[in-house]
Structure 1
Amino acid sequence: MSLKLNKNDFFLTGMNSVVVAERHPQADFPSHDHDFDELVIVWRGNGVHIWNDIPYPITCGDLFYINAKDRHSYESANMLALDNVLYCRERFRLAADWEQLLPGEDTPQGQRYWRLSTLGMSVLRDKVDELAKECMKSEALSVQLSEALLMQLSLLLLRFRHQPDSGVLPDAHQLDLLLMALRAGIAEPFHLETFCRQHKLNPRALRALFKQHTGMSVTHYLRQLRICRAMSLLRYGNMTISDVAAECGFDDSNYFSVVFNRACGVSPRDYRQRFTSQAGIAR
């Protein structure tokens, strides 16, 4: 059963079109939808974002464009800090190509998930803070300024966002390079020392930086990426368990089953069967 969040509980007045809901920290939260749209910007920590039944391992720099018809929840939250920028499209007054700035329900889900660069995060932090202060005022000028700030924020997101699995990011920070390498090479063994030699980085310093921003180790994050990928393949694909294990970077399918069971509380086979049974009931 999904919770329903209503705009009347979040927006200051019936005229305000945008509000910032700070979640510092964001605890585990059950599946819900709402009668407004939102941007989700993750600043630090880690967790799992279940979005329309698809699991996304999240950490600093993740960006989601969530529509009113979407269902989502947060699980395994660990020092997770994020901001939800809520907005009502029907209240917008400024003439803009809002569909491009804020992808709507006609945009596929895969095109509404992005990553933000470290440079972009520092720029966006100030803009979100400015918007958070302005949207808590109800006079007409503040309502207009809030919408203008949302437009600026949306334009900055277009400038600083990149595809989650992109292997190229101009002027990338060392943390960006590592996160991209982990996501792009999920099926292959990853060796931090080799990565650091290639990019002339210090492994010890990079481990500390990664822990500071994500709240977990590099190994933990890579395991989370692999488990979430496996959950999607088991639920929506028809690959064998062994092939799923290999696709997610596990040479030994038995070890994969142990790791998956530890993370999800159920074996890969039983996890697949759960959704196969649900699909049969739905039919």
Structure 2
Amino acid sequence: MAVSGHLVLRKEEFFARPGQAVAVADRYPQNVFAEHTHEFCELVLVWRGNGLHMLNDRPYRITRGDLFYIRAEDKHSYASVNDLVLQNIIYCPERLKLNLDWQNYLPGLNGSAWTPHWRIGSNGMTQTRQIITQLEHESRKDEPLANEMAELLFAQLVVSFKRYRYATDNLEATQSEALLDRLLSALAGSLNRPFSLDLFCSQEGCSERALRQQFRQQTGMTVNHYLRQLRICHAQYLLQHTDLMIGEVAMQCGFEDSNYFSVVFNREVGMTPGQWRHRSGVVA
């Protein structure tokens, strides 16, 4: 439902029963979706493909393993999607009855510290997929104790997310994870410096060709395209939220030549860095 031009997703449209605390909304695939807020909170876990996730005006290039904690008041949207498969686990905090310290496991809940963007490696995704499947099954039942069972599974899920999640660029946290997880973290940690896939593969003792193929199969992008998108998203954030000169932004996003940075930025975003900053209301 739209209120004064603002799209708000309502509880009654997504929860099967009054008083239901938790549900699962599949997006197979997730299409382009206009900016909106909710009457509920949600967790977003990406299984495959890629897309541009705008969260409170900040761009995130998302792909397999990305995890977001979205508060009801947060505004977000999806654009530039490519075979993007994700699941939304939606919940109403005021309906939760289980005696659990929920805000310890759900960043941003009840004013707790909020870091919205995390990653889950292959091991964690395997574990949580089973829980989400059970949760989805229970949340669709219309029988006694279905709500209680769903809430118990939700508690297990949020604790599992806390166990397995790590910062997007924390390469050390991925040492026991699959090769693709380590590559994704290595890329996120190299926004302001050159990245050599050849060197990465040499250190990991793996085939560069096989890794490139696996990366494209799971994300829908080449390694170079993904890294370029990460850098452009970071540049958009710096242009909007800092007063750094455009040349300084270019350097912090891994571009030694500011003119080349402007060309790439214009090609990817559809406007120059200066136009983006002006549109965002920031004057350098």
- TM-score of the superposition, structure 1-length normalised? 0.95
The corresponding residue for 1:203 is 208
Measured in 1, the distance between the counterparts of 2:176 and 2:241 equals 36
Shift of 1:140: 2.8
For the pair 1:271 / 2:272, whether they are aligned, the reply is no
3-state DSSP of counterpart to 1:94: coil
Q: Is the 8 A contact 2:61 2:233 kept in 1?
A: yes
**Distance in 1, Cα, partners of 2:113 & 2:189:** 21
Counterparts of residues 82-161 of structure 1 (less than 5 Å): 82-103=86-107, 104-109=109-114, 111-161=115-165
Cα distance, 1:108 vs structure 2: 4.3
Q: d(CA) in 2 for partners of 1:193 and 1:172? A: 20
The 5-angstrom pairing of residues 60-79 of structure 1 reads: 60-79=64-83
Instruction: Give the secondary structure class of the aligned counterpart of 1:32.
Output: strand
CA distance in 1, matches of 2:188, 2:16: 39
How far apart, CA to CA, are the structure 1 residues paired with 2:118 and 2:228?
20
> 1:47–1:274: structure 2 CA closer, same or farther, 3 Å change rule?
same
Q: Report the residue type matching 1:207 in the other structure.
A: R
* Equivalent position SS for 2:111: coil
Cα deviations by residue, 1:146-196 (Å, 9 ceiling, x for unpaired) = 000101111110111111121212412111110111011111111111110
The Cα offsets for residues 23-63 of structure 1, whole Å up to 9 and x where unpaired, read as: 01001111000110000001010011100111111000000
Q: Distance in 1 between matches of 2:137 and 2:100?
A: 23
Relative to 1, partners in 2 of residues 1:39 and 1:241: Cα closer, same or farther, differing over 3 Å? same
Give the counterpart of 1:17 among 14, 17, 21.
21
In the TM superposition, what is the alpha-carbon distance from 1:105 to its structure 2 partner? 4.9
In structure 2, the partner of 1:214 is 219
Contact kept, 8 Å, 1:2 with 1:30, in 2: the verdict is no
Asked if residue 58 in structure 1 is aligned to residue 86 in structure 2, the reply is no
Give the TM-score normalised by structure 2: 0.95
Quick check: 2:37–2:74 contact (8 Å CA) kept in 1?
Answer: yes
Note if 1:257 corresponds to 2:262: yes
Q: Where in structure 2 are there 5+ consecutive unaligned residues?
A: none
- Following superposition, the deviation at residue 201 of structure 1 comes to 1.3
CA distance in 1, matches of 2:62, 2:110: 22
Q: Where does structure 1 differ by over 6 angstroms across 4 or more consecutive aligned residues?
A: none
- Partners in 2 of 1:236 and 1:144 — Cα distance? 43
Gaps of 5+ in 1: none
| Residues 264 and 108 (structure 1), Cα distance of their counterparts in 2 relative to 1, 3 Å cut | farther
Q: CA deviation at 1:132?
A: 0.8
Match of 2:180 among 152, 172, 175: 175
